[in-house]
């Protein structure tokens, strides 16, 4: 077991545990904070998968902006206190666990297959590209060349979302 | 390199997210579990990007952007519902019953 | 001969015009008379022309005129086609000739009736259907006429429908006819199945090869056809509607239930004589049922008091003779048709004459505001002083029907009986049939003389005040009687047998139609001595019957119907028609009504169809709807669970 592998498994287990805790906390703020931990762990996994830029973006955008928004809303609506149990009763829990287990089982069967040889890149190609162009350029160049149009559309989408959020949350239209 | 294990983690996280959506009654917490599911998918994309090209990472970028937009609008809706019914408990919001 | 289509078209036009007048202007009696009688007279003239053209052309096979394609379905092809041959020529002249005379009589008889226009409309329609029947070139076209005359019979029997009894009689006639029609249809299905066609000419051409002689198929076909005949021509077991049909106006009884409609069955057997010749068992059944009916109906007529009922049972009996004739086959086929023709003459004369009598009795009772039965013979008597012409002409008809030479009935009846006796040489049962026929002849002479005696002779029982109002019918009614009287007297000339030096003209005329069948029937010849013996026996029977009636019956001992004692003993059985109607009611009608009411209505209709079918499907729909509505909880959490379950299901299907 190399250092890299040990790290990987450590952060993997951390993410799973944190996710489980996030799902089962009574307090909404606790759930949010444990989700932040999960996101950090996933960012670490990203780094180990040669996606460093994406990892940074994960921390900045996801953990930094989106989760902050969540916490803002929780605070605004004043549901941060430990309230009466909002987890469903025993029967509901049983159904939820059963369905989740079933889904887990099926998805693991799906992901067992290896990607076909025809589209696989030679091993180490990702790292080589990164060494050649730099970490950010490897992602940025295709983004502004091949995927320019989805990029522009996404910007419009964000504009629409911003306008929508403002309108929906107004006290008086 | 870590494709197998990464995919396994992704699947487990996704299942935990689904369990969360089915378990909780608080609308905001359900939303957070949905974000968890999105992250599991992101992890899978990135794992494959190592072997199949950088398009996976770019897609993760877009997923994050869309998730941000969706979170903003969804939370705005939850605020509007809270103003109406003074609660974010999903079992209290059943005007569509019948 | 190309004008043959005009013969049925004229009465049809008459029906349409008179029908319109009946609906729009029922009081336009003169127009109705001109149209109604005019179309019949014209039709008769055209028919004479057609027959003359036929006689000049001497065809060996029927001349068929196709007008349009009616039923082209799969292998079946039926056209609306009329055929002219020697047999249809005879029927054509009888229907249009006797029909025209009866139409003229009706002008006087129905002159004061409110439904005058409706009456003539129906009568014209009837003649149209009857002509379609006799001119049809295929079984379906004949069947159209067959059903149509049944319909018109119903309409005319129930003409005065405001009386429940009349409407019931109409229904009884129609329903019993339908039973026979089911047999006719079954026969048609079988014929099509085995020959692939329903036109007369191809069927008769294929018959000797398509059917094994005496085999079960041809026997079934002919027996089914005969079932239709028993319904239409009132033979055992479907004869009970005919006496009830006397509820209709008397000219209707004369035309439909004496001269034409009831003879349709005889015509059918004569038309299909080749098929019956191929099935000796069926021919024997036809002859046997005919002979038995002749005897049976004659016994009932002995004790009837209503003058029209006597004539009705007499008709049933004479129809039995006709079937005995066509059932015997060979030369007797022509004898049966001959008797059909002479019977049309003298029976129409008898009915129309009784119409005159009833007309006079009605007038008398109407004038004195009495309510006695105008048709009961116990209320009549001595009428020859008041209706001399009617009496004399009815005596001519009585002599004809009794079989006294040289009147027409003698020649026709003797022809049938002689042929039956001759056939006995090869099949002894025909001696029994001859015996029935002879006994029936004795009874016929007896009851006809009885009728004349009680009606026209002896003291008058109508009442002193009514006698002043009894008078002879107007000439519009008596004129046709005279013409029929001449025909009844001289009609024998149509077919004088070779034995007495005649040319057997009708038999030779019908030979092209009957020879194919006659060839298959065992030849039966009587020696001259035997023939003369039979003639003498027949005449002796007739004379004995008449004399017995004259001696044994005493009209002086009768009292008017209102004061008469009810019948007792064996006389009661005969008067009540051997209780056949009561037996049918108990054995057939009541069980069917019970079945309909208790099982078909209460169980099937209300329970199964209404309950399970209609209401049940509504209940099921509601239940399904309720099940569906249980999914609409309005709870988002529940919806998500369903959603995830669906995703799992889809994934499972893809991963397999």
In this prediction, residue B70 carries a pLDDT of 94
* Residues C214, C278 contacting (CB under 8 angstroms): yes
- Gap from C611 CA to chain B (nearest CA, Å): 30
In this prediction, residue B86 carries a pLDDT of 83
Nearest to A165 among B10, B67, B72 (CB): B72
Please name the residue of chain C whose CA is at the shortest distance from the CA of residue B97: C634
Confidence of residue C156 (pLDDT cuts 50, 70, 90): very high
Task: For A123, list phi and psi in degrees, rounded to 5.
Answer: -60, 140
Chain pair A-C, CB pairs under 8 angstroms: 21
Averaged confidence pLDDT in chain A: 87
- Can you tell me the distance from the alpha carbon of C152 to that of C132, in angstroms, rounded to the nearest whole number? 13
* Residues C538, C414 contacting (CB under 8 angstroms): yes
Nearest to A99 among C637, C648, C652 (CB): C648
Confidence of residue A42 (pLDDT cuts 50, 70, 90): very high
Q: Which residues make Cβ contacts (< 8 Å) with residue C348, sequence separation at least 6?
A: C98, C101, C102, C254, C255, C258, C259, C484
Q: Flag if C637 and B96 touch (Cβ within 8 Å).
A: no
Q: Flag if A99 and C645 touch (Cβ within 8 Å).
A: yes
- Flag whether residue B93 sits within 8 Å of chain A, measured between CB atoms: no
**Chain B, 11-50: which have a CB under 8 Å from a chain C CB?**
18, 21-22, 25
Q: pLDDT higher for C473 or C267?
A: C267
Q: Find chain B residues with C-beta within 8 A of A117's C-beta.
A: none
Q: Find chain C residues with C-beta within 8 A of B94's C-beta.
A: 633-636
pLDDT digits (tens, 9 = 90+) for C76-98: 888 888 998 888 998 999 999 99
Q: Find chain C residues with C-beta within 8 A of A95's C-beta.
A: 641
The subunits that touch chain C, with at least 3 C-beta pairs less than 8 Å apart, are A, B
ipTM for the predicted complex: 0.92
Q: H or E segment at C84?
A: strand C76-84
In this prediction, residue A165 carries a pLDDT of 92
* Residues C316, C250 contacting (CB under 8 angstroms): no
Q: Find chain A residues with C-beta within 8 A of C655's C-beta.
A: 106, 109-110
The backbone region for C74, taken as left when phi is positive above 0, alpha when psi lies in -120 to 50, beta otherwise, is left
* Residues C543, C404 contacting (CB under 8 angstroms): yes
Q: pLDDT higher for C589 or B1?
A: C589
pLDDT for A27 beyond 70: yes
Q: Find chain A residues with C-beta within 8 A of C649's C-beta.
A: none
Helix boundaries (H) for A49-89: 52-57, 67-76
Q: Flag if B98 and C634 touch (Cβ within 8 Å).
A: yes
For A108-145, letters b (16+ CB in 10 Å) and e give eeebeeeeeeeeeeeeebbeebbeeeeeeebbeebbee
Q: Flag if A106 and C637 touch (Cβ within 8 Å).
A: no
In this prediction, residue C600 carries a pLDDT of 80
Task: For C471, list phi and psi in degrees, rounded to 5.
Answer: -150, 165
pLDDT for A85 beyond 70: no
Q: Flag if C655 and A109 touch (Cβ within 8 Å).
A: yes
In this prediction, residue C174 carries a pLDDT of 92
Rounded to an integer, the average pLDDT of C51-70 is 86
Please name the residue of chain C whose CA is at the shortest distance from the CA of residue A111: C655
- Gap from C616 CA to chain B (nearest CA, Å): 25
- Can you tell me the distance from the alpha carbon of A109 to that of A112, in angstroms, rounded to the nearest whole number? 5
Q: Flag if B22 and C632 touch (Cβ within 8 Å).
A: no
- Can you tell me the distance from the alpha carbon of C408 to that of C335, in angstroms, rounded to the nearest whole number? 12
Question: What is the full DSSP assignment across B2-61?
Answer: -HHHHHHHHHHHHHHHHHHHHHB-BHHHHHHHHHHHHHHHHHHHHHHHHHH-THHHHHHH
Confidence of residue A84 (pLDDT cuts 50, 70, 90): low
* Residues C304, C451 contacting (CB under 8 angstroms): no
* Residues C149, C261 contacting (CB under 8 angstroms): yes
Query: Best interface-test mutation with A: which of C643, C650, C655, C656 has the largest number of A CBs within 10 A?
Result: C655
Q: Is the dihedral of CA A67, A72, A75, A76 positive or negative?
A: negative
Confidence of residue C351 (pLDDT cuts 50, 70, 90): very high
pLDDT digits (tens, 9 = 90+) for C177-236: 999 999 999 999 999 988 888 888 888 888 888 887 778 888 999 999 999 999 898 888
Nearest to A99 among C637, C644, C652 (CB): C644
C-alpha C530: how far from its chain's center? 35
- Gap from B94 CA to chain A (nearest CA, Å): 16
* Residues A104, A45 contacting (CB under 8 angstroms): no
Task: For C324, list phi and psi in degrees, rounded to 5.
Answer: -60, -40
- Gap from A80 CA to chain B (nearest CA, Å): 11
Nearest to A45 among B43, B48, B57 (CB): B43
Q: Flag if A16 and B61 touch (Cβ within 8 Å).
A: no
- Flag whether residue B68 sits within 8 Å of chain A, measured between CB atoms: yes
- Can you tell me the distance from the alpha carbon of B61 to that of A60, in angstroms, rounded to the nearest whole number? 12
Please name the residue of chain A whose CA is at the shortest distance from the CA of residue B85: A77
In this prediction, residue A57 carries a pLDDT of 94
Closest CA to C173 of C186, C188, C185, C156: C156
In this prediction, residue C189 carries a pLDDT of 93
Q: Flag if C655 and A110 touch (Cβ within 8 Å).
A: yes
In this prediction, residue C387 carries a pLDDT of 86
> Directed axis angle between helix B55-85 and helix A135-145, to 10°?
80
Q: Which residues make Cβ contacts (< 8 Å) with residue C107, sequence separation at least 6?
A: C33, C37, C476
Confidence of residue B83 (pLDDT cuts 50, 70, 90): confident
In this prediction, residue C489 carries a pLDDT of 84
* Residues C60, C512 contacting (CB under 8 angstroms): yes
Please name the residue of chain A whose CA is at the shortest distance from the CA of residue C640: A96
Nearest to A99 among C637, C641, C652 (CB): C641
Q: Flag if B22 and C640 touch (Cβ within 8 Å).
A: yes
Q: Find chain C residues with C-beta within 8 A of B96's C-beta.
A: 632, 634
Rounded to an integer, the average pLDDT of C234-248 is 88
Structure token pair of residue B98: 């019948």
In this prediction, residue C404 carries a pLDDT of 87
Rounded to an integer, the average pLDDT of C392-399 is 91
Task: For C306, list phi and psi in degrees, rounded to 5.
Answer: -75, 130
Q: Find chain A residues with C-beta within 8 A of C647's C-beta.
A: 103
Q: Flag if B93 and C636 touch (Cβ within 8 Å).
A: yes
Q: Flag if A103 and C652 touch (Cβ within 8 Å).
A: no
In this prediction, residue C209 carries a pLDDT of 84
- Gap from B55 CA to chain A (nearest CA, Å): 8
Query: Best interface-test mutation with C: which of B20, B90, B95 has the largest number of C CBs within 10 A?
Result: B90
Query: Best interface-test mutation with C: which of B15, B78, B89, B96 has the largest number of C CBs within 10 A?
Result: B96
Please name the residue of chain C whose CA is at the shortest distance from the CA of residue A93: C641
The subunits that touch chain B, with at least 3 C-beta pairs less than 8 Å apart, are A, C
- Gap from C634 CA to chain B (nearest CA, Å): 4
- Can you tell me the distance from the alpha carbon of A150 to that of A156, in angstroms, rounded to the nearest whole number? 10
Q: Find chain C residues with C-beta within 8 A of B91's C-beta.
A: 635, 637
Confidence of residue A80 (pLDDT cuts 50, 70, 90): low
pLDDT digits (tens, 9 = 90+) for A102-131: 999 888 888 877 777 777 777 777 777 777
**Chain B, 2-61: which have a CB under 8 Å from a chain A CB?**
2-3, 5-20, 22-26, 28-29, 31-33, 35-36, 39, 42-44, 46-55, 57-58, 60-61
Q: Flag if A70 and B32 touch (Cβ within 8 Å).
A: yes
Q: Which residues of A touch C (CB under 8 A)?
A: 88, 92, 95-96, 99, 102-103, 106-107, 109-110
């Amino acid at each position: 077991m190399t250092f890299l592998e040990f790290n990987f498994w450590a952060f993997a287990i951390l993410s799973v545990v944190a996710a489980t805790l996030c799902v089962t906390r009574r307090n909404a703020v606790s759930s949010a904070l444990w989700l932040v931990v999960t996101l950090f762990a996933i960012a670490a996994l990203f780094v180990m998968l040669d996606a460093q830029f994406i990892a940074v973006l994960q921390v900045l955008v996801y953990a930094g902006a989106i989760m902050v928004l969540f916490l803002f809303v929780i605070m605004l609506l004043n549901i941060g206190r430990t309230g009466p149990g909002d987890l469903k009763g025993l029967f509901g829990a049983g159904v939820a666990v059963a369905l989740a287990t079933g889904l887990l089982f099926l998805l693991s069967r799906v992901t067992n297959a290896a990607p076909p040889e025809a589209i696989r890149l030679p091993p180490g190609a990702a790292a080589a590209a990164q060494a050649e162009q730099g970490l950010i350029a490897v992602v940025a160049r295709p983004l502004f060349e091949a995927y320019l149009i989805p990029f522009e559309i996404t910007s419009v989408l964000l504009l629409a979302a911003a306008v929508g959020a403002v309108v929906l949350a107004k006290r008086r239209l | 390199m870590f494709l197998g294990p990464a995919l396994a983690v992704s699947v487990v996280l996704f299942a935990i997210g689904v369990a969360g959506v089915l378990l909780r009654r608080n609308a905001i917490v359900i939303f957070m579990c949905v974000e968890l599911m999105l992250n599991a998918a992101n992890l899978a994309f990135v794992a494959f990007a190592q072997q199949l090209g950088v398009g996976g990472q770019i897609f993760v970028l877009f997923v994050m952007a869309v998730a941000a937009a969706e979170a903003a609008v969804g939370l705005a809706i939850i605020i509007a519902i809270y103003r109406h019914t003074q609660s974010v408990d999903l079992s209290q919001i059943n005007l569509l019953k019948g | 001969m190309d004008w043959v289509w005009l013969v049925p078209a004229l009465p049809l036009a008459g029906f349409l015009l008179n029908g319109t007048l009946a609906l729009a202007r029922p009081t336009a009696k003169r127009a109705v008379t001109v149209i109604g009688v005019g179309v019949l007279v014209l039709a008769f003239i055209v028919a004479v022309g057609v027959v003359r053209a036929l006689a000049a052309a001497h065809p060996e096979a029927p001349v068929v005129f196709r007008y349009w394609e009616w039923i082209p379905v799969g292998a079946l092809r039926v056209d609306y086609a009329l055929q002219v041959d020697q047999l249809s020529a005879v029927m054509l002249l009888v229907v249009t000739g006797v029909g025209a005379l009866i139409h003229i009589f009706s002008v006087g008889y129905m002159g004061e009736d409110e439904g005058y226009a409706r009456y003539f409309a129906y009568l014209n329609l009837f003649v149209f259907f009857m002509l379609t029947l006799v001119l049809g070139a295929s079984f379906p076209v004949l069947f159209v006429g067959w059903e149509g005359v049944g319909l018109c019979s119903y309409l005319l029997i129930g003409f005065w429908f405001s009386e429940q009894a009349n409407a019931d009689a109409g229904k009884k006639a129609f329903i019993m006819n339908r039973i026979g029609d089911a047999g006719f249809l079954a026969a048609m299905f079988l014929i099509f199945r085995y020959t692939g066609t329903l036109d007369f000419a191809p069927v008769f051409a294929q018959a000797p090869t398509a059917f094994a002689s005496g085999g079960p198929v041809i026997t079934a076909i002919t027996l089914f056809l005969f079932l239709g005949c028993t319904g239409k021509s009132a033979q055992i077991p479907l004869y009970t509607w005919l006496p009830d049909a006397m509820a209709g106006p008397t000219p209707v009884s004369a035309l439909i239930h004496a001269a034409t409609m009831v003879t349709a069955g005889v015509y059918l057997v004569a038309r299909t004589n080749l098929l019956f010749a191929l099935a000796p068992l069926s021919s024997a059944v036809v002859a046997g049922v005919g002979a038995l009916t002749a005897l049976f109906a004659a016994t009932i007529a002995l004790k009837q008091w209503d003058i029209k009922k006597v004539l009705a049972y007499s008709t049933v009996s004479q129809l039995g003779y006709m079937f005995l004739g066509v059932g015997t086959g060979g030369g007797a086929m022509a004898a049966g048709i001959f008797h059909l023709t002479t019977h049309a003459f003298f029976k129409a004369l008898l009915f129309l004459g009784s119409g005159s009598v009833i007309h006079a009795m009605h007038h008398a009772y109407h004038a004195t505001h009495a309510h006695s039965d105008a048709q009961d013979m116990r209320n009549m008597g001595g009428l020859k002083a008041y209706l001399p012409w009617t009496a004399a002409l009815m005596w001519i008809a009585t002599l004809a029907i009794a079989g006294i030479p040289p009147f027409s009935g003698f020649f026709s009846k003797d022809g049938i009986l002689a042929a039956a006796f001759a056939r006995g040489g090869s099949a002894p049962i025909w001696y029994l049939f001859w015996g029935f026929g002879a006994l029936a002849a004795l009874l016929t002479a007896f009851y006809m003389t009885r009728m004349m005696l009680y009606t026209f002779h002896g003291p008058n029982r109508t009442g002193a005040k009514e006698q002043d109002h009894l008078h002879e019918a107007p000439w519009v009614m008596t004129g046709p009687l005279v013409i029929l009287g001449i025909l009844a007297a001289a009609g024998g000339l149509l077919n004088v047998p070779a034995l007495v030096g005649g040319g057997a003209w009708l038999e030779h005329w019908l030979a092209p139609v009957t020879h194919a069948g006659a060839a298959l029937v065992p030849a039966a010849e009587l020696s001259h001595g035997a023939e003369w013996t039979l003639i003498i026996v027949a005449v002796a029977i007739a004379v004995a019957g008449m004399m017995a009636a004259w001696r044994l019956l005493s009209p002086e001992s009768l009292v008017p119907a209102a004061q008469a004692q009810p019948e007792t003993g064996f006389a009661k059985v005969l008067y009540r028609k051997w209780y056949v109607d009561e037996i049918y009611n108990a054995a057939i009608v009541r069980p069917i009504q019970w079945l309909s009411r208790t099982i078909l209505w209460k169980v099937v209709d209300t329970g199964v169809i209404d309950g399970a079918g209609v209401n049940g499907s509504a209940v099921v729909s509601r239940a399904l709807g309720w099940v569906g509505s249980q999914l609409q909880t309005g709870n988002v959490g529940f919806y998500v669970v369903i959603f995830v379950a669906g995703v799992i299901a889809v994934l499972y299907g893809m991963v397999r």
